[in-house]
Chains A and B, each alone.
Chain A
Amino acid sequence: MRQSPTDSHSTTGSPSPHHHDGPSRPRGGSGPGSRPRRLPLPPLVLGLALVLAGSVVCGVGLGAAGIAWADVVRFLWAGGTGGSVRAADVAAYTIVWEIRLPRVVLGAVVGAGLAAVGVAVQAMVRNALADPFVLGISSGAAVGANAVILLGAFAGLGVWALSVSAFGSALLAMALVYGVARSGTGLTPLRLVLTGTALAYGFEAVTTVMVFGAARGEAARAAMMWLLGSLGGATWAQVPIAAATVVAGWIWLRARAEALNALAMGDETSAALGVRPERLRRELFVVTAAVTGTVVAVSGAVGFVGLMVPHVVRMVVGADHRRVLAVAPLVGAVLLVWADVLSRLLLAPAELPVGVITAVVGVPVFLLLMRRGGYAFGGR
């Protein structure tokens, strides 16, 4: 679609020996070989922000307990402006403001965080298959989370036990992966991916032993729910920390978007462009691990968002990280808000893990987009 068929033979990188036509054949800038003009960024970001706002309202309005849309909007307004509601509405107001809204907001935060981290990790290890979980952080977090769910560890921390334990073990996993992957030449992409993947298997083995050893079936179910990701435990108390971490991580990454471009071109190119690749990769590792650990601590390991959203966004806005990092978190947020709505509604009153929805909805959309554009990692 974006490229004329005659050019497709040279996409492998090494030109064929008979390819003499490079400088000799003038090509018009608007000819069949050039890609369509990209959407200008500000309207795209603004539009996505509006879609996100609408999605949040819809996410709050849709649920097992039927609440009229007018009431939903009224309660949101009352909650946001410090207004008051009638005594008869308190039950419905509580559902909207204390149960649904924090859940929807947390979903948006988690989706944005996973998408932003996915973009960063794919550039950091220059691997199209990388996602926020490839570094083993989430598998490490799962050990801590399941120690709480299955073994009742850290009971003294009360409602915070799960998040604190998950985040703590994510940090331990991060230190372990970092220590093992580090070598004389710094953190190389291959060592990072291999170390993260290998240690993830180890962490998953520990989690599996705990799940099999659990006496109570309900606990194993809760563990499964966590492993596939769920926003069911969302409370307002979790939102500020998660949101602050994700926003701070996003700002940090966005400020380094051009350096990420250089890093994506290769370590030697980035060195020649004045970006020190080892240092940037080290910083990226810490930032992405911290955001991943925080996100996973409140939602479990929601799969596929961090892998798919960066690719989908690149198909639309190109590979430039300044554009990708502006758009991807919004797309991730919208996606997860709607995935969570479906996870609540499909089998209501029972809930599906949100990771199941992201996969069921995301896989076909992703494959369709990929086939249509002949996409290969931002390319064709």
Chain B
Amino acid sequence: MRTDGVRGDGVKENGVRGMVPGGPEAGADGLGGGAGVPLGIEGVSVEVAGRRIVEDVRLAVDGGTLVGLVGPNGSGKSTLLRCVYRALRPASGVVRIGGDDAHALPAREAARRLAALPQESASEFDFTVAEVVGMGRLPHRERTAAGDREICAGAMARTGVAHLADRGFLGLSGGEKQRVLIARALAQRPRVLVLDEPTNHLDVAHQLDVLSLVRDSGLTVLAALHDLNLAAAYCDVLYVLDGGRVVASGAPHDVLRPELLAEVFGVRAHPVRHPGTGAVQLLFDRLPRSTDTRTTSRHPAAFPRPHSPSRP
């Protein structure tokens, strides 16, 4: 990947190519790191303030695969992910991490199995990078300071932020911040990683960089993504969410069909194949001038919006 070439020397040695699933770093300390376990979302519905945002979602992520969650704004991606990393409780349904009900586990135990990068970055407290990464050790009991340091150093080396350890987190660039947060998630030694729009506000090199990092982590990854081409390039499986429901799922080239994109996103797209990788990529038509906006070009009749307060 191109990002390998642009990185500085200190990073290259520990670059993403060194992160082979099950490689020497994975689980070497016996502290629970290692290959990902399956993540299952079984008929999950989520309500926020009495409104049903997510409706009976069924989704499966095989161990060690990267699954993308795509859908228009407001389709319930973030809400579903919040429910997976336990910031919200499901109104019904079960989230299973390797077979166990995530919401029945003690909070710390769940956090030892599943790490998340939420969208929020509102903190005004200026922790150092080392302190932020060190928070990943919080869910682990019976830890030693030396062991924590070693695991955090390993996580920072894997994401190429070791040289930033004493810097303030708030002073970092967007790409550096995401790498630090991924290091925190890795320091958590989870089996499953949940990412909410991890490439937001990043330039293209950093977008590729972040997704390469998580794909090569060997963990089971569920990521909400806005960029359909990034999703197509990196994900093994895509789920399309619209109005809180899964409307399509499967391999990217099966899911990203022009009809579906017209119905769900209200855009005209032409799938092409990447000349190098063969992955499906999309070319988008410009929208017509203002007389026919995105909302009118959608087909509301084809996809009744369950956003309305009606409940099943």
Which A residues lie at the B interface, using CB under 8 A?
2-3, 7-8, 10-11, 13-15, 17, 19-29, 33-35, 37, 123, 126, 128, 184-185, 258-259, 261-262, 264-269, 271-276, 314, 318-320, 376-380
Over the window 92-121 of chain B, the binary record of Cβ atoms lying under 8 Å from chain A Cβ atoms (1 yes, 0 no) is: 000000000000001111111011111111
Nearest CB in chain A to that of B129: its residue: A34
B112 proximity list for chain A (CB < 8 A): 274
The reply to whether B118 and A23 form a contact with Cβ atoms under 8 Å apart is no
The reply to whether B127 and A22 form a contact with Cβ atoms under 8 Å apart is no
Distance of A365 Cα from B162 Cα, bound (Å): 35
- Nearest chain A CB to B294 CB, angstrom units: 24
Q: Does B258 contact A (CB under 8 A)?
A: no
Contact partner of B116 among A2, A26, A272, CB < 8 A?
A272
The reply to whether B127 and A266 form a contact with Cβ atoms under 8 Å apart is no
The reply to whether B135 and A274 form a contact with Cβ atoms under 8 Å apart is no
Query: What would be 22 A-B contacts, judged by CB atoms less than 8 Å apart?
Result: A2-B168, A8-B171, A10-B174, A13-B121, A15-B175, A20-B203, A22-B172, A23-B160, A28-B163, A33-B167, A35-B168, A126-B122, A273-B136, A274-B106, A274-B107, A274-B112, A275-B107, A376-B126, A377-B124, A377-B126, A378-B124, A379-B125
Contact partner of B49 among A184, A258, A274, A376, CB < 8 A?
A184
- Nearest chain A CB to B26 CB, angstrom units: 21
Q: Does B58 contact A (CB under 8 A)?
A: no
Which range holds the interface residue count of chain B?
35 or more
- Nearest chain A CB to B129 CB, angstrom units: 10
Distance of A185 Cα from B127 Cα, bound (Å): 27
Where chain A touches its partner, the secondary structure class is loop
- Nearest chain A CB to B183 CB, angstrom units: 13
B125 proximity list for chain A (CB < 8 A): 123, 126, 261, 264-265, 314, 319, 377-379
The reply to whether B8 and A3 form a contact with Cβ atoms under 8 Å apart is no
Nearest CB in chain B to that of A268: its residue: B118
The reply to whether B127 and A27 form a contact with Cβ atoms under 8 Å apart is no
The reply to whether B135 and A318 form a contact with Cβ atoms under 8 Å apart is no
- Nearest chain B CB to A109 CB, angstrom units: 27
Distance of A23 Cα from B12 Cα, bound (Å): 10
The reply to whether A35 and B7 form a contact with Cβ atoms under 8 Å apart is no
The reply to whether B171 and A320 form a contact with Cβ atoms under 8 Å apart is no
Binds A, one of B35-43, B60-68, B79-87: B79-87
Known A-B contacts A26-B11, A34-B167, A261-B131; A266 and B173 likewise in contact (beta carbons under 8 Å): no
Nearest CB in chain A to that of B4: its residue: A23
The reply to whether A22 and B173 form a contact with Cβ atoms under 8 Å apart is yes
- Nearest chain A CB to B7 CB, angstrom units: 5
Q: Does B139 contact A (CB under 8 A)?
A: yes
The reply to whether B206 and A319 form a contact with Cβ atoms under 8 Å apart is no
A-facing residues in B174-202 (Cβ within 8 Å)? 174-176, 179, 188, 194, 201-202
Nearest CB in chain A to that of B8: its residue: A26
B118 proximity list for chain A (CB < 8 A): 266, 268-269, 272
Contact partner of A266 among B122, B163, B170, CB < 8 A?
B122
Q: Does B138 contact A (CB under 8 A)?
A: yes
The reply to whether A15 and B202 form a contact with Cβ atoms under 8 Å apart is yes
Distance of A273 Cα from B188 Cα, bound (Å): 8
Q: Does B3 contact A (CB under 8 A)?
A: yes
B131 proximity list for chain A (CB < 8 A): 261, 318-320
User: What are the 9 closest A-B residue pairs judged by CB atoms, nearest first?
Assistant: A379-B126, A274-B111, A26-B8, A15-B174, A22-B175, A268-B118, A272-B116, A274-B139, A274-B108
Known A-B contacts A265-B125, A266-B120, A275-B107; A27 and B174 likewise in contact (beta carbons under 8 Å): no
The reply to whether B115 and A24 form a contact with Cβ atoms under 8 Å apart is no
- Nearest chain A CB to B74 CB, angstrom units: 18
Nearest CB in chain B to that of A28: its residue: B163
Q: Does B55 contact A (CB under 8 A)?
A: no
